[in-house]
Amino acid sequence: MELRQLRYFLSVADTEHLTQSAHAMYVTQSTLSHGLRQLETELGVSLFDRVGRGLKISQAGLLFKGYVGRAVQEIEAGRMELSRLNGLQAGTLTVGVIPTFMNSLIPNAVAIFSEQYPGIKVSIRDLRADLIEELLMAGQLDVGIAFHPTEREEINTTHLFTEQMQLLVGKNHPLADKRTVSMKTLKNMPLCLLPRSFATRRMLDESFKIAGISPLVRVEMESVSALIAACDSGLLATIVPERAARDSAHMHAIKLSDPQPSRHAGILWRKGASRSVAAQAFVALLRPEK
């Protein structure tokens, strides 16, 4: 069993597409197929079901994927430990980040890191919080930037900063002249929010519950930028993190109270996993704006 075969497997397990994975791995499709067949022969199981001309990961493949992801991550972490002797001159770093931190928190850290360690390839993945946790557990991320704390015992989190949630409205909205409103004020207000599958929405629902109201959610969208665009004009309002509100200077941000909803950003690590030197160096560069 060779490391390259395991990397081939992980790529195809994600894409379920030989051509796409071959292109991403910079190998020919025949080389990739041969490597997978060798791996399956050695294991004595089919890792993929052949469906027509396509592939679909098998039950055995799903089981194997978690172990392989963690093993490859540990190998990469060990390689990064060795590279410390050479001043972090080579290696890769993969970071999962929730969308609202991509523009405000990450770019400066990436720029400084790349300047200090030009030999390390950095991959920043824009992901939902739950997927960040899943990929950390699967060994496909070195570190995650999401929420603190998490609900998974297998994930360690370190508090990074706290940010308030703010009501964001267009200039023609009835509340456009307000600076602060209570949560109860939103009782019959048409809102445009993230769906309940998002941790931020679940936190907001808890704030609504504390305020004793049921929100009038007219629209649900899976993107904060889309929420903001939908509320740019008219009577719809949304609730977004203060960093997103600051980036929307053409709209009016209103502070919320009673209760004041807030969320806590955190650095996520898989419990028990080695923390690569590159990941620790990158995290040290995260400097939240005030």
**Considering the entire predicted model, what is its pTM?**
0.68
Give the whole-angstrom CA distance, residue 72 versus residue 66.
10
Query: What is the three-state SS of 242-282?
Result: HHHHHCCCCCEEEEEECCCCEEEEEEEEECCCCCCHHHHHH
> Looking at this protein, which amino acid is placed at residue 248?
S
Q: Which residue has the tokens 């005030």?
A: 290
Q: How confident is the model at residue 203 (pLDDT cuts 50, 70, 90)?
A: very high
Q: Left, alpha or beta for 217 (phi > 0: left; psi -120 to 50: alpha)?
A: beta
**All domains of the chain, ordered by start, with CATH?**
1-57 (1.10.10.10), 164-262 (3.40.190.290)
pLDDT, tens digit, for every residue of 23-37? 888 889 899 989 999
- Residues in contact with 166: Cβ distance below 8 Å, sequence separation at least 6, in sequence order: 239, 240, 241, 242, 245, 253, 254, 255, 256
pLDDT, tens digit, for every residue of 255-287? 999 999 999 999 999 988 878 888 999 999 997
Residue 139 has pLDDT above 90, yes or no: no
* 254 close to 171: Cβ distance less than 8 angstroms: no
Give the whole-angstrom CA distance, residue 193 versus residue 238.
6
Give the whole-angstrom CA distance, residue 187 versus residue 172.
19
Task: List the end-to-end C-alpha distance of the chain, in Å, as a whole number.
Answer: 50
